[in-house]
Homo-oligomer: A and B are copies of this chain.
């Protein structure tokens, strides 16, 4: 066996794509495409952190349904409960990160502990949510911009689609560079929010912080204060948790030691999240912020702290809008990675596992972009329409993942001290604190399950039904795809069936449309093979057929010509019928169909020709024991001058070899 090192550069990829997404990267550089903790925060945390922009408001919106300002005070205990839930999930996911250093997303944890169905459910839920994250975040970010500049209102959908397109391009360049791009806005948002909270609490302490003016509580339909309402407010506020699973999926993107770096980033992120969320909720309560159609709670807060129209107020609003747009980027990091996992296991098209020129899962990025664009266009970039679809998937995956960890810890509980057992995904090591860890995971699983159920029930009519239909549908499709790949693998496998290498009779048939230089090439190829051959012409036009017969005679005995009549002017059907008959008459023989193809130098000129070889090739690929050979005749246009390159025209050989020599520079070393 010989190995050849192909050293061709990216020049074959076209310069536009090089400009847009960068030059191709070699496979061995993959290990270098990892990120530091600081960049990791920016790449994976923007989704989670951006939820502080709306989580408090979501709680207040529900509580405001009572029509009572006093009830809004319940936002603080509810926020504390959510922070407890967040802490539980964080501790639980920290365990997961250490247990699964090669990536511990819900999909892997479920597959490892609960089996394929649970894994596919968790994966379908997450994939759905990643698409929604892009749609929701970008729509909401665009909405912020539009409320600041109302003149942009007619371009809302267009702007959202443009943002998706730009984000797609940035991500096709690769995760490291997109990390750098997104680090600035994430840290800018954090800086502005901490400044706002700091100044706010300082003014509160010094007694100079007033209350919100000019905003009034508006509720359309009054609801009594009930346990159900409080749970609803709690579940709405739980959107603060969306995005915290991102790091566990993306462990492999971190620099070594991966688990340690990823876990620290998770803890730092959750701490910041809790601080911001509680700070915003407490300050909002103090300034008596109310949910309003006209102004977001963040805006009310910033306005009260800094005063109307101050530069700092505008910077807070800008930072908030920006982080919402950036949140979408988390999905660009995670969706392709998760889709590649599904595809690698044969539950999604294999193409999703291919790394493109820039080592990213290009197909996954483009599928995400396409799905998000469709959602944004269909729902006219309306956050209100998108929100009820959102978050169910995340809480479903939380539940499945933590349930998986409970099962795993049950296995760990059976180990002797110091014992290590080889697991499916990672090793199982004795853990003296397994009871505590299992308790954390179990409590987390139960809590997130309850939140998911409340979500599904309270938002069923406004859109949750769609997700509750979509996830089982996706799981069904995933298993259908899996079934297909298993079937094909079975068909292809050499282990399960008898096969023998054998020599069969080959019947070579040249499909002749008319008699020209291309025909000469086809005849030369057939003669060179040395197998018996004859020509076949489908008669659509009697006059043309007569011409073909006359010209064929000029070849003088070079093979037999068979004419097939086609009264309905079809090409494919008579040829298929003829081949079927031939196969019946010659059991075991291989029918070798040879077709000419006029290869033009551009797509435009190619479209001027019938290209029947492509159609026929496809049509005949359904017949057994039929193989199809395409003999191209190159027609090059060089500024009006035409070159024909015929296999046999010896006088052109020199020019041809000259051209080949220039292309052969691409091949460098040939090793034996």
Contact residues of A with B, CB < 8 Å?
1-8, 10, 12-13, 24-28, 349-351, 354-357, 481, 483-485, 487-488, 490-494, 497-506, 515-518, 520, 523-525, 527-531, 538-540, 549, 551-552, 554-555, 558, 560-570, 572-574, 576-578, 580-581, 583-584, 587-588, 590, 592, 597-599, 601, 605, 607-610, 617, 620-635, 637, 640, 642, 644-649, 651, 653, 656-657, 660-661, 663-664, 666-667, 670
Contacts and interface: CB of A to CB of B under 8 A. Distances in A.
20 contacts: A3-B562, A4-B562, A4-B565, A4-B574, A6-B566, A8-B568, A13-B570, A350-B609, A355-B569, A491-B633, A501-B558, A506-B528, A506-B529, A524-B590, A530-B531, A573-B666, A577-B666, A580-B660, A590-B647, A599-B621
A539 to B, nearest CB: 8
A436 to B, nearest CB: 40
Q: Which 3 A-B pairs have the closest CB atoms?
A: A492-B516, A6-B574, A491-B644
Nearest to A522: B627
A488 B590 contact: no
A574 B670 CA distance: 12
A575 to B, nearest CB: 9
A628 B493 CA distance: 25
A660 to B, nearest CB: 5
B627 A590 contact: no
Nearest to A605: B484
Given A515-B494, A632-B621, A6 B647 contact: no
Contacts of A4: 562-565, 574, 578
A500 to B, nearest CB: 6
A450 B438 CA distance: 94
B499 A528 contact: no
Given A503-B524, A590-B647, A484 B562 contact: no
Contacts of A626: 632
Q: How many copies does the complex hold?
A: 2
A501 B481 contact: no
A10 to B, nearest CB: 7
A574 B8 contact: yes
A605 B485 CA distance: 9
Given A27-B567, A493-B517, A627 B632 contact: yes
Contact of A524 (B356, B504, B515, B581): B504
A577 B528 contact: no
Contacts of A26: 567-568
Nearest to A492: B516
B560 A1 contact: yes
A609 to B, nearest CB: 7
Contacts of A27: 540, 567-569
A518 B1 CA distance: 21
B555 A527 contact: no
A357 B568 contact: yes
A480 B570 CA distance: 29
Query: Chain B CB within 10 Å — which of A10, A350, A560, A580 has the most?
Result: A580
A52 B357 CA distance: 64
B8 A635 contact: no
Contacts of A518: 492
Nearest to A647: B625
Contact of A481 (B539, B608, B661): B608
B494 A520 contact: yes
Given A621-B632, A621-B634, A628-B629, 7 more contacts: A1-B563, A28-B567, A349-B608, A493-B517, A494-B517, A502-B524, A584-B664
A48 B230 CA distance: 74
Nearest to A490: B642
A491 B653 CA distance: 16
Contacts of A584: 657, 660-661, 664
Contacts of A500: 648
A307 to B, nearest CB: 47
Given A6-B566, A574-B6, A608-B484, A516 B501 contact: no
A217 to B, nearest CB: 38
Contacts of A666: 573, 577, 580
Given A5-B565, A529-B506, A567-B27, A487 B635 contact: yes
A621 B634 CA distance: 8
Contacts of A528: 503-506, 531, 590
A487 B349 CA distance: 44
Nearest to A505: B528
Contacts of A551: 494
Contact of A501 (B524, B538, B667): B524
Contact of A563 (B3, B570, B588, B624): B3
Contact of A1 (B351, B561, B570): B561
Contacts of A1: 549, 552, 560-563
B598 A635 contact: no
A13 B576 CA distance: 13
Given A494-B520, A502-B524, A555-B501, A12 B567 contact: no
A641 B462 CA distance: 42
A624 to B, nearest CB: 4
A667 B584 CA distance: 12
